[in-house]
Structure 1
Amino acid sequence: MIYYQNNEIVIRDICSSDVINLFSWQIDKELNKHDPRPIPNNSKGLIEECMDYCHRFDTEIMSENIEDIEYKYFIITDYEDNAIGFVNFFGIDKLKKQGEMGISVGDKRYWHKGIAYTAIKTATDYIFNNMDIDRIYIETGECNNPALRLFEKLDFKKCGEYIEDEDFKFIVMEKVSSRF
Structure 2
Amino acid sequence: MEKKFPEIETSRLILRKVKSDDKESMYKYLSDEDVVKHMGLFPYKTAEEVMDEINWYDSIYKEGTGIRWGITEKGKNEVIGSCGFLNMKRQHFRAEIGFELNKEYWSQGIAGEAISAVLQYGFQSLGLERIEALIEPTNRSSQKLVEKYGFIKEGLLRHYEFTCGKFDDLLMYSILKEDLVGIFGE
Note if 1:143 corresponds to 2:163: no
What CA deviation, in whole Å up to 9, does each residue of 1:106-161 have, x standing for no partner?
Answer: 2x221101111111111101110111210000101101000000100101001121
Identity %: 21
Letter in 2 for 1:5: T
C-alpha change, 1:71 and 1:161, in structure 2 (3 Å) is same
1:76 aligned partner: 71
- Picking from 29, 34, 38, the partner of 1:34 is 38
So what's the TM-score if we normalise by structure 2?
Answer: 0.75
Name the CA distance, whole Å, in 1 between partners of 2:126 and 2:37.
Answer: 31
Partner of 2:108: 113
How far apart, CA to CA, are the structure 2 residues paired with 1:77 and 1:40? 20
- Cα distance in 1 between the residues matched to 2:172 and 2:29: 23
Instruction: Give RMSD over aligned pairs.
Output: 2.8
Q: CA deviation at 1:58?
A: 4.4
Residue 87 of structure 1, CA deviation: 0.8
8 Å Cα contact 2:97/2:132 also seen in 1: yes
CA distance in 2, matches of 1:23, 1:69: 26
Amino acid across the alignment from 1:145: R
Structure 1, unmatched stretches of 5+, are: none
Q: What is the SS of the residue equivalent to 1:90?
A: strand
Counterparts in 2 of 1:69 and 1:97: CA distance versus 1, 3 Å? closer
Q: Show structure 2 runs of 5+ residues with no match.
A: 1-5, 182-186
